[in-house]
Amino acid sequence: MTSGIIKRIRPEMWAAVIIITLFYLCEFRFFFLLPLPDKIFAGSTNKMMLAMFSFGFFILFLLKNKKLGLGYFGWPIIFAFLSVAVSTVLSKFEFGFSITQVLWGIIPYLILLLYFPGRKYLADKDTMECFIVIGEILAILMSAIFILQYILYTGSESTFLKLPGMISDVSIRHPEWGLRVRNVFDGLFRVFGLIIADRIIVKRFRGCWLDIISYFAIVLAVLMIDQSRAYLVTLMFSSIAILIYRSIKKVTVAKLLIGTGAIAVGVVAIIVKMSSIFVSIAEKAGSWMARVNAASHYIDVGLDHFFFGIGMADHESNREVANYVRGISGIYYPDDVGLIGLFALLGITGLIVYVVIMVRVIKCFLYAKQDQALLFGLVISMIMSSIITTYFDRTRLLALVLTAIVCDINRCQRWKENELDNTN
């Protein structure tokens, strides 16, 4: 399969292949094998390297094309960046953040610039195929490296990966429980996993070994390394939604058997993961109750900063601000309560922009000419994610960008080819 892709790469496409590979290497931080400056690149939520790549790629795109082409999501994405910038700059005057802290809160959102060149170049089927295949190969490698680290982990001294400030406190206190690193497999894989799932379903599980291996590698990495119940449930539900949507149009015995088996596996995985949530509800303990109380807290915070919120600066760098944002007990996180947390961070302005983007994603699904099943999965994923974790969080910005690109490409297929150059 990969050899066939290589043969299809036209001479003028090798520049795109290099850029795509560099994109993944920046997103994966060179698989966390290389030591990078802690002050700039530390932490699993840090996207500074990818932001720098995004800005540079965007400038090269402008110089080459001399025409931006806003597309269907261009203005909402611009307003999304402006809402982050304005709210974070205003937080400097209210909370006393330094210029550096303000910039460090805004720069990661330069990732949103990837939408503009992405919608243009990935509209080419061969380029999109290269993007997916290269992503699958590197995702398998990334997942394998982290799973190997998980197997070998016996404490902080046993890490061969460069993970400054990224290992969960539980893993440090109880190394016998295994390694947990949050947010590494979120964001890109939240949407990329659905793209792979759709490819597998379209091919009826035949001749797509690379797709199958990469999908299960991502699922295993989420299960073992990220250990996010909400992410796993969202991924499984959205994948099942794609399967059901495609099966409805033409049901065969083979599809019925495969679909039944896939749904059964998905339901079992969901039940196993959801059971711990139900237990925490019954005991009035754990992350569920923390989220319930956090929602009430962040509604109050949002009402106090109604228009622009408290911004995206590093709240932990100021003890007084951290106590205000994290609550009296210090266990609340705005990223854990979805749209309510977004309301607290960016105010009603950011919330409106996010809802506009979500509505446009839904409209693209309703009017899609091709890949409507994939867009249905993307809609399900975005709606489910927004209950607990929105795509405006730094670690999930790529999910927003990739969703917008896929939706825009499918929308443009309903009109003329030059629709991608349309700025409306």
pTM confidence score:
0.89
Q: How far apart are CA 236 and CA 233, in angstroms?
A: 5
Quickly state the pLDDT bin for 284 (edges 50, 70, 90): very low
pLDDT in the model for residue 277: 41
Q: How far apart are CA 399 and CA 384, in angstroms?
A: 13
Q: What is the largest CA-CA distance in the chain?
A: 65
Q: How far apart are CA 107 and CA 47, in angstroms?
A: 9
Among the listed ranges 69-83, 343-357, 361-375, which one has the minimum average pLDDT value? 361-375
pLDDT in the model for residue 2: 56
pLDDT in the model for residue 280: 39
Mean pLDDT of the chain: 86
| Residue that wins the pLDDT comparison between 140 and 413 | 140
Quickly state the pLDDT bin for 44 (edges 50, 70, 90): confident
Rounded average pLDDT over 16-26:
95
- Per residue in 384-396, pLDDT tens? 999 888 999 999 9
Which of 298, 370, 421, 28 lies closest to 187, judged by CA?
28
Among the listed ranges 59-68, 322-331, 394-403, which one has the minimum average pLDDT value? 322-331
